[in-house]
């Protein structure tokens, strides 16, 4: 399904941590600045107990919020509404691959190594696997097809130190692992690729049996812009709401704690609002 017509989505989360000692936290829990114009209700990170919040835009263009969490239960929550075109991720098989010299300056950093993406170690492997595939859209799509079919999904395979090389050799992973491997392969082929996180409800697809979570996908730079790809689901999807992009998951963690923060509860909502009900958040 490529379109369901314009709609309103309800977005939100309720995340709770147990905090043993005062801890600085950076949260990337707002809709990405590029989507702010679509909001139909305030997109406000609620922090309980109340803390002094500071907001800023990081070097990747994401909206970040900083605060100090006090000992006890920390609750981060939000509920908002956003307009959505109802169109699936655009597909453009004619989007061509730019030679590195024609890339915009700020795309270059997405060709480099990063914590979870050991581009240097995949130089030969990427060429062996995809050197024969026509450049451009079809090559990125070939990377997605390959990662999608080769890696098996399982929450039990998640771990915070898992790199693209680990994913490749272990053949198992979660959402972020699929994207890290695809991002790394694209970069090794000299195609800028960046990691993306956000909301992705089950819109236009059968409901997933898994509990709703934030989702990860990635963007590749082709022709003249960034395009959405998703090595985990590997199909154009309706209703993605971007929150952050970066070189890999290390740059765009939903929360980064500089001290102990034990996750106690985690729920995410991203769903189409039935017509006529979208007046209140």
The yes or no reply on residue 45 touching a copy of itself (CB under 8 A) is no
Cis bond upstream, residue 49 (ω within 30): yes
Vertex 156, ends 74 and 194: CA angle to 5°?
Answer: 75
The yes or no reply on residue 170 touching a copy of itself (CB under 8 A) is yes
- Of 33-41, 76-84, 226-234, 249-257, the segment contacting a copy of itself by CB under 8 A is 249-257
- Of 7-15, 41-49, 155-163, 229-237, the segment contacting a copy of itself by CB under 8 A is 155-163
Q: Which is nearer to a copy of itself, 144 or 241 (CB)?
A: 144
Interface residue with a copy of itself, options 111, 185, 186, 261 (CB under 8 A): 111
Q: Name the minimum Å distance from CB 6 to a copy of itself.
A: 35
The yes or no reply on residue 230 touching a copy of itself (CB under 8 A) is no
- Of 6-14, 29-37, 166-174, 272-280, the segment contacting a copy of itself by CB under 8 A is 166-174
The yes or no reply on residue 135 touching a copy of itself (CB under 8 A) is no
C-alpha 81/C-alpha 241 separation (Å) is 11
The yes or no reply on residue 114 touching a copy of itself (CB under 8 A) is yes
Pattern of binders to a copy of itself over 46-65, x per CB under 8 A? --------x-x-xx----x-
C-alpha 120/C-alpha 44 separation (Å) is 40
The yes or no reply on residue 101 touching a copy of itself (CB under 8 A) is yes
C-alpha 184/C-alpha 129 separation (Å) is 13
The yes or no reply on residue 36 touching a copy of itself (CB under 8 A) is no
The yes or no reply on residue 18 touching a copy of itself (CB under 8 A) is no
Q: Which is nearer to a copy of itself, 161 or 275 (CB)?
A: 161
C-alpha 144/C-alpha 227 separation (Å) is 13
The yes or no reply on residue 148 touching a copy of itself (CB under 8 A) is no
- Chain residues that interact with a copy of itself, rule: CB under 8 A: 24, 26, 54, 56, 58-59, 64, 66-68, 99-101, 105-106, 108-109, 111-118, 120-125, 150, 156-157, 159-161, 165-166, 168-171, 190, 250-251, 256, 258
């Amino acid at each position: 399904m490529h379109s369901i017509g314009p709609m309103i989505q309800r977005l939100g989360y309720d995340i709770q941590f147990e905090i043993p000692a005062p801890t600085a936290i950076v949260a990337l829990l707002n809709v990405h600045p590029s989507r702010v114009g679509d909001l139909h209700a305030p997109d406000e990170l609620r922090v309980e107990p109340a803390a002094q919040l500071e907001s800023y835009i990081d070097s990747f263009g994401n909206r970040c919020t900083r605060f100090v969490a006090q000992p006890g239960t920390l609750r981060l929550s939000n509920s908002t509404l956003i307009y959505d075109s109802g169109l699936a991720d655009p597909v453009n098989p004619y989007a061509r691959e730019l030679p590195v010299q024609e890339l915009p300056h700020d795309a270059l950093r997405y060709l480099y190594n990063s914590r979870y993406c050991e581009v240097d170690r995949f130089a030969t492997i990427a060429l062996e696997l995809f050197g024969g595939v026509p450049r451009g859209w079809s090559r990125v799509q070939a990377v997605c097809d390959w990662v999608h079919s080769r890696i098996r999904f399982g929450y039990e395979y998640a771990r915070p130190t898992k790199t693209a090389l680990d994913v490749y050799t272990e053949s198992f992973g979660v959402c972020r692992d699929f994207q890290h491997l695809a991002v790394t392969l694209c970069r090794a082929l000299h195609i800028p690729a960046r990691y993306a996180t956000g909301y992705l409800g089950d819109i236009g697809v059968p409901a997933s049996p898994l509990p709703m979570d934030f989702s990860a996908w990635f963007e590749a730079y082709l022709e003249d812009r960034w395009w959405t790809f998703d090595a985990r689901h590997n199909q154009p999807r309706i209703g993605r709401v971007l929150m952050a992009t970066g070189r890999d998951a290390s740059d765009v963690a939903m929360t980064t704690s500089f001290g102990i923060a034990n996750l106690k509860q985690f729920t995410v909502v991203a769903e189409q609002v039935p017509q006529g009900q979208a007046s209140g958040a």
